Amino acid sequence: MIILHADTNHPILLKKLAEAGHHNIEAYEQSREETLQNQHLYDGIVIRSRYTIDKEFIDAAPNLKFIARVGAGLENIDVPYAEKNGITLFSAPEGNMNAVGEHTLGMLLSLFNKLNKADKEVKEGLWHREENRGIELDGRTVGIIGYGNMGKAFAKKLRGFDAEVLCYDIKENVGDKNVRQVDLDEFYEKVDVVSLHTPWTEETHQMVNNEFIGKFKKPFWFINTARGKNVVTEDLVAAIKDGRVLGAGLDVLEYEKASFESLFANKKNVAISAAEPLPEAMRELMFLPNVILSPHVAGWTVESHKRLASVIASKITSKFGLGEEQKEAPLRTDF
């Protein structure tokens, strides 16, 4: 098959596909419009998040057999329309789940021990020991919302701590040896930490808002390594300022582009468009001492770079390997 690669990935992806007899077309600088003009030539496309694959794109690709996203979610793809057209969809949540689990734990421990604040102060010549006294994870209750690949990876990392780990998921019976599944009432009552591991869907869009935060019985720490648009930043900032949220670790932001590229047009004073001021809530978030931010890199490690590419290559070649029959492949949308 002729496979278009819209984004760069680890070289192992190209190598494995070539070994299976497929022809790779590297189009990393090619615009979406340029791709559309020649999309009828390709049997498959491999993408991260550079552009959206919608009805227009799919209609221009009558020979398209699969779309592979080298990442966890499929929100930049019109999944129902692709399925309707018999296109197989691949994603690779297994590829970066360990990286996300480690990053989530790192953010939580950094918040608990005020490492970002302490680091900044020491570099400025300040030696504030009492003001940087931390707290411990042992004895606390960690709540995970969304118990797919990423949630499970985080729960596994928590096994070395004497902490209770709960999860809430819309699917039943997903609990395991690392977590106890509970209903929302128990979740709201008990947790000290909320870690979000849900995809971005109609149901999860802006789910973390003032109403959601108000249901918790006690102030909590909040970590989001999932999707930024699941959170109303303005409501989160207000909750941090009035103490309902004790602090936040955010690897993803509401104001990100769908491509996950830079939030800023140049420095940190303006948003994506130079004519569009950075939202006030984002400005406040950037200067709160009990907030840690990272640029959507939770799953972005040296190891996951290779693993993601390897997982996608294996899924493609398992279904479309040289000389093999095309058999039905499951749609991977779990997070």
Residues assigned a catalytic role: 227, 256, 296
Token pair, residue 88, equals: 């197989």
* Of residues 114, 204, 104, the one with CA closest to residue 152: 104
Runs of H (alpha helix) within the chain = 11-19, 32-38, 55-59, 79-84, 93-112, 115-123, 149-157, 184-190, 210-214, 233-241, 280-286, 302-320
Nearest to 193 by CA among 241, 232, 229, 161: 161
Taken as a whole, the chain contains a residue count of 335
Whole-number Å distance between alpha carbons of 97 and 223: 16
Phi, psi of 74 (to 5 degrees): -125, 25
Tokens representing residue 32 in the block: 């979406």
Instruction: With beta carbons less than 8 A apart as the criterion, state whether 246 and 221 touch.
Output: yes
Of the candidates 165, 179, 158, 152, which has an alpha carbon nearest to the alpha carbon of residue 109?
158
Asked if residues 208 and 227 have their Cβ atoms less than 8 Å apart, the reply is no
Among the listed residues 247, 279, 233, the one whose alpha carbon sits nearest the alpha carbon of residue 108? 247
